[in-house]
Amino acid sequence: MDNTRKEWLLNAVLAGALLGVPLWAWLANEPFIVTLATRIAILAIAGVGLNIALGLGGMVSFGHALYLGIGGYVAGIAAHHAFSGMPVLGLAGTNQMLPIWAMAMLLSGIVAGIVGALSLRTSGIFFIMITLAFAQMGFFFALSWPAYGGEDGLPIFLRNQFPGLNTARPWEFFLLAYSVLLLVLAAFALIRAARFGAALMAIRQNPDRAAAIGISPFGIKLVGFVLSGMITGLAGAMMADLTRFVSPAMMAWTMSGELIVIIILGGVGRLFGPVAGAAILVGFEVFFGGVSEHWKLWLGLVLLAVVLFARGGLIGLIAGRARHG
């Protein structure tokens, strides 16, 4: 069996397991497991976003928690104002997910455009540090913003709503997150296969060659970075609704690191890399977190092993090296 078919089979298994396990848990009345699966799906959405920048474009953003936080605060602030009935900046609050998601993606995209325009003139360690610096700015801004909870964070008393669903029920909210994940994965696959993806991946491999045939690396990377931030921002809004709480911790640099770890564990640039990575991360958290509070030590060892021996992450280990035609 060739590697492409292996990868599609593995993707189908992962997609099936992420649906099947919570389905079983729902039938067996284990809402905790349904919630874990929802967490995996939402982290995977955030990871797909980062995978556009990091995996396709080679832009190692160490500040993607910023977009997660922006999405989270959009959801929290909208719900807060819907609850209090007071408008914010002339806009009425809302408890509807669709306008919240649109606003989360719009704001994340604008911020990613600014961050990208300033940081994409650098590369390597400087790019990593500048993206980190912007995320830290967001973190400290949220920390010192008393109107929305400051360091205590902002609770969402009732999960925001989606037409036709009762989002307070774990299984229905999971189905929503899972559907969004599938849509986002489809968007990633389309972008990667299209001319834009061809240009973005070429720039990652050899920016001088891309420039010499007339493709401007800066413009392509900036658009990739904005798309990446928008998808991670969407995940942030959903994450806030999952935990019904948003706090500056969502923008902490450790969160940015976790997103990178998800991509590396799953497979950089691979379609289902973020799904595999998020499942591994949450799995470790649950199984080893129950045994010892030092579970991150074991995660660190696995990460070390992946970086040393399995550069393609879980997807690469099973399905081999990626082929780009």
Partner 1 sequence: MADPVLDLRGLCKSFGALRATEDVSLTLRAGEIHALIGPNGAGKSTLMALISGKTRPDAGTVWLEGQEITALSVPQRARAGLGRSFQVSSLIPGYSALRNVMLALQARQGHSYRFLRPVMRDAALRAEARAHLDRVGLGPRASVEAAVLSHGERRLLEIAMALALRPKCFLFDEPMAGLGASGTAELIPFLRALKADAPILLVEHDMDAVFQLADRISVLVTGRIIATGGAAEIRANAQVRAVYLGEDG
Site of interaction with partner 1 (CB under 8 A): 190-191, 193-199, 201-202, 205-206, 208-217, 220, 223, 322, 324-325
Tell me whether residue 191 or residue 303 sits nearer to partner 1 (CB atom). 191
The residues facing 91 across adjacent strands are: 88
The beta-carbon contacts of 264-267 under 8 Å, at least 24 apart in sequence, are: 264/303, 264/306, 264/307, 264/313, 265/302, 265/303, 265/306, 265/313, 265/314, 266/47, 266/313, 266/314, 266/315, 267/312, 267/313, 267/314, 267/315, 267/316
Taking a C-beta distance cutoff of 8 angstroms, is the pair 47, 273 a contact?
Answer: yes
Tell me whether residue 230 or residue 279 sits nearer to partner 1 (CB atom). 230
Q: CB of residue 227 vs partner 1: minimum separation in angstroms?
A: 9
Q: CB of residue 190 vs partner 1: minimum separation in angstroms?
A: 6
Tell me whether residue 42 or residue 322 sits nearer to partner 1 (CB atom). 322
Q: CB of residue 204 vs partner 1: minimum separation in angstroms?
A: 9
Q: CB of residue 209 vs partner 1: minimum separation in angstroms?
A: 5
Instruction: List Cα–Cα distances, 201 to 176, 210, 212, 250, in angstroms.
Output: 31, 10, 15, 29
Burial of 157 (0-12, 13-18, 19+ CB in 10 A): exposed
The residues facing 224 across adjacent strands are: none
3-class secondary structure, 248: helix
- Classify residue 112 as left (phi > 0), alpha (psi -120 to 50) or beta: alpha
Q: How many CB atoms lie within 10 A of CB 202?
A: 17
State the virtual CA torsion across 321, 131, 117, 212 in degrees, nearest 10: -30
- Angle 200-203-209 (CA atoms, 0-180°, nearest 5)? 140
Tell me whether residue 163 or residue 321 sits nearer to partner 1 (CB atom). 321
Q: CB of residue 99 vs partner 1: minimum separation in angstroms?
A: 24
Tell me whether residue 223 or residue 242 sits nearer to partner 1 (CB atom). 223
- Which residue type sits at 245? F
Q: CB of residue 108 vs partner 1: minimum separation in angstroms?
A: 18
Tell me whether residue 195 or residue 309 sits nearer to partner 1 (CB atom). 195
Tell me whether residue 121 or residue 324 sits nearer to partner 1 (CB atom). 324
d(CA 179, CA 91): 29
Q: CB of residue 115 vs partner 1: minimum separation in angstroms?
A: 20
Tell me whether residue 54 or residue 250 sits nearer to partner 1 (CB atom). 54
Q: Where are the beta strands (DSSP E) in the chain?
A: 154-155, 245-246
Q: CB of residue 276 vs partner 1: minimum separation in angstroms?
A: 21
Taking a C-beta distance cutoff of 8 angstroms, is the pair 235, 71 a contact?
Answer: yes
Q: CB of residue 269 vs partner 1: minimum separation in angstroms?
A: 10
Tell me whether residue 148 or residue 218 sits nearer to partner 1 (CB atom). 218
Looking up tokens 């599938």 gives 182
